[in-house]
Structure 1
């Protein structure tokens, strides 16, 4: 039994000051952030679809906003968030299948998720501009 009268100097629960940030932890946090960002991106997609249904004038207005430098930057970020969240989901699916739990495998999957999301985003945008 613990001594009730003793003052405990340890925290009652783990806190961010105790944990050393490791790459897989950062990727987990980033996965949650990109999931939240996808809500905002879905609103942008819905606005674009509503503009398409509203008529050519409003559709041109929305396309002008999305075609601006700031609009393209937001769409680039949405593309990256979508791909990063998807690859993070595949990483979790691999874990759900019972694989990739070793330290090297976890680290490799986390790095592959980041590298893959950045690479696929750039590749997708290059293809998009080439087709356009």
Structure 2
């Protein structure tokens, strides 16, 4: 019996470089996961601040200093963008679940709509607040 010829292929689509060109659909999927995990950091910081307020003045002063520092502001600014991105990506997936937008061009366009729309909505949110 003849031995089958093995074809050398990359092991993973995440081997960015000569084997794989990043596509908007994969980038948006990765961004959805990153923003979901990033929102956990903002939630932990907010809960810590609330628990510190209930605990005592000294502990609250420490937590409040962290929340009002550049780090806290950066976390909450990033969480505003992450919330908008996650929301728009969720709407995109509802559209996909309904059986629409499965063409490659439409899926890539919707990925760009999520990215650009989330940035625009973040700026609008900051201007309103």
Matched residue SS, 1:20 = coil
Partner of 2:27: 26
TM-score (norm 2): 0.81
Which stretch of structure 1 is more off in the superposition, 82-91 or 58-67?
Answer: 58-67
Structure 1 distance, partners of 2:51, 2:117, is 32
| Structure 2 residue ranges without an equivalent (≥5) | none
- In structure 2, what is the equivalent of residue 113 of structure 1? 114
Question: How far 1:76 moved relative to its partner?
Answer: 0.7
Query: 1:10 aligned to 8, 11, 15, which one?
Result: 8
1:1-132 superposed matches below 5 A:
3-4=2-3, 6-11=4-9, 13-17=11-15, 18-128=19-129
Q: How far apart in 2 are the matches of 1:60 and 1:126?
A: 28
Change (3 A) 1:122 1:3: farther
Count of paired positions? 126
Shift in Å at residue 24 of structure 1?
1.7
Deviation (angstroms), 1:12: 7.5
State how far apart, in whole Å, the 1-side matches of 2:121 and 2:58 are. 33
Deviation of residue 124 (structure 1)?
1.2
**Could you list the per-position Cα deviations for residues 75-123 of structure 1 after superposition, in whole angstroms to 9, with x for gaps in the alignment?**
1112212221121111111111111112232122111100111111121
Distance 1:127 1:64, change over 3 A: farther
Residue pair 2:39, 2:83 contacting (<8 A) in 1 also: yes
Cα deviation digits, residues 59-82 of structure 1 (max 9, x gap): 344233212222211211122122
Q: Does the 8 A contact of 2:84 with 2:122 survive in 1?
A: yes
